[in-house]
Structure 1
Amino acid sequence: MIDQKHVEALYDCDVIDNHGEKIGSVKRVWLEDGTGRPMWAEVHTGLFGMKESFVPIQQGEVAGGGITVPVSKQQVKDAPSVHTSDDHMSDEEQDALYRHYGMIPQAKTGEHDRLDGRQDRKRAAMQDDERAGKRTDAGMRDDEGAEVTLSEEKLDVGTRSVETGRVRLVKHTVTEQRNITVPVTHEEVRVVREPAKGNAGKAFTDESAEVTLHREEPVVQKRTEATERVRLEKNAVTEQREVKGEVRKERVEVERDDEPRGRR
């Protein structure tokens, strides 16, 4: 449980919800009148920490430079706005916060004092000065402004050479069947009969006559000759390629606590 000895350690520490998610950072602590027990932390939340929300810290635990509270970040986000007057919180405002967080106060304790973390050692003197209107919220003059710097990410697109693959020529031998028609000539014999003239020659004796026949046969011979030259050449081809990437951009919102909730 948070008590008076934890007050100094609370300022600017991270507030963690019951799911382990960061809610924001503590900028002010509200104490219970009479006992001085820390009751509420005024936490900067929202974009760039410009929104202030009230978080119950009575049951919080301080460890590792942060405080863990038994409420969720969404509860804090939806908490009712508290418009304090003279740095005090009224009973009605306290009741609204208790109802929102589902808490039941043990007793009516009256108003809570708000402390500025940078001047907690002079709390009594500060309260007197604040009631007299001698300082403005957060220790700033009325004529001072506030500013935030917005940033955004840009895509820088370039090119780099990467190896996509290799192409090579490989020569190997295949065997195929060729059919070629070749004209060939052969000799044939025929018998020619015609009337004889003159002497009969050697009559009534055996006699023979012959002729030699010839034919052509295909002769296959093989020779090697170059038929084609094949080589690889590289050509550079340029094409348009769409590149996508996510970039972050900061935007600013203006949140005001001096207007009724319905008019925001």
Structure 2
Amino acid sequence: MIETSSIDAVIGSHAYDNDGHKIGTIGQVYVDPDDGHAIWASVNTGFFGTSESFVPLENATMDADGVRVQYDKAFVKDAPRVDVDGDLSTEDQETLYEYYGMSVGNTGTEYDTADYTDADLRDTVGGPGRDTSGPNTDSAMTRSEEQLNVGTQKVQTGKARLRKYVVTEQQNVTVPVQREEVRLEREPITDANIDDALSGPGLSDEEHEVTLTEERVVVDKETVPVERVRLDKDTVTEQQTVTEDVSREEIELEGDDASLRGKNRDRI
């Protein structure tokens, strides 16, 4: 049961069914004229206009999220249409009690069905321009939707530094080298060399020496600068696609065929 001291908090709060599904926003609360406890509440279930669904508050509870009633969302939504005009007649209550199975024959409990008038009505919350339309508001309701606000944020992704180290590798270089070799040549005695041949003794021991030379590879290393290396940054721009779910409110129009002029439902 909703405490009498909590009725003001009930008005304008969200109503949830027995499974935790949101039914709608509570607009008006009818209280018992004797002790002031809450009896009925009108719930705006998304229909445009002044016709709302009524739900009993006898076994309802209230927590931080809103009011929880002991009925299914679809069941409340399909409750008999009763005009929210400030009065809740005996006939209206009997129809609602029968729909919710709260008559004597079904529950064994007898409920009073006195005529509830404006004196027993706690007004709807808000005024013109609020989401709930009723006797204290204008004939419009606000439709809202979520919009994506996408921007960029610069974050550090890493660091880069220059580090120099020594690598040793082998190089193969081909260098031409020369050396001298002994070659024995024999020439016959001719008129051109006869004098040289007879210039010495006839028979003698003699030695003739020739010095041989060769080139050897000499390796020397020197360190020379070959290039300059520095760090620099480039800014690269690319396209990224952001996917996110956004919610929006939709407004349904329901009513009799005659009032809708041939259309049973419209959605905005």
Residues 110-259 of structure 1 correspond to what in structure 2 (within 5 A)?
111-116=113-118, 119-120=119-120, 145-194=138-187, 195=189, 197-198=194-195, 199=198, 201-256=200-255
**One of 106, 131, 141 as aligned partner of 1:104:** 106
Q: CA deviation at 1:212?
A: 0.8
Deviations 1:98-136 (A, max 9, x none): 3599x81437778542344xx339xxxxxxxxxxxxxxx
**Deviation (angstroms), 1:211:** 0.8
Distance 1:63 1:167 in 2: 56
| TM-score normalised by structure 2 residue count | 0.65
Output the amino acid matched with 1:180.
V
Indicate conservation of the 8 Å contact 1:11/1:26, yes or no: no
Q: 2:88·2:116 contact (CA, 8 Å) conserved in 1?
A: yes
Alpha carbons 1:82, 1:93 under 8 Å: kept: no
Please list the CA deviations of residues 147-190 of structure 1 after superposition, one character each: whole Å capped at 9, or x if unmatched.
Answer: 22334444444444333322222221111111111111111112
User: What one-letter code is carried by the residue in structure 2 that aligns with 1:162?
Assistant: V
Q: What is the aligned-residue RMSD (CA, Å)?
A: 4.4
Give me the identity figure in percent: 37
State the match for 1:73 in structure 2: 73
Distance 1:246 1:220, change over 3 A: same
1:259–1:29: structure 2 CA closer, same or farther, 3 Å change rule?
farther
Q: Unaligned stretches of 5+ in structure 1?
A: 122-137
Deviation at 1:53, TM superposition (A): 1.7
C-alpha distance in 2 between matches for 1:169 and 1:8: 73
Cα gap change, 1:56 to 1:190, in 2 (>3 Å): same
Query: How many pairs does the alignment contain?
Result: 236
Contact 1:28 1:114 in 2 (8 A): no
Which amino acid is 1:57 matched to? Answer: L
Residue deviations 1:208-251 (CA, integer Å, cap 9, x gap): 11111111111111122222222233233333343444444344
C-alpha spacing 1:256/1:218, structure 2 compared with 1 (3 Å): same
After superposition, the Cα gap between the structure-2 partners of 1:62 and 1:226, relative to the gap in structure 1 and judged at 3 Å, is closer
Describe the superposition over 1:185-213 as per-residue Cα deviations: whole angstroms up to 9, x where unpaired: 11111222222613352222211111111
- Deviations 1:1-60 (Å, cap 9, x if unpaired)? 67xxx567546615554345554426132769xx99979513223239965222233344
- Report the Cα distance in structure 2 between the residues aligned to 1:39 and 1:47, rounded to whole angstroms: 23
* TM-score with structure 1 setting the length: 0.65
Letter paired with 2:29: R
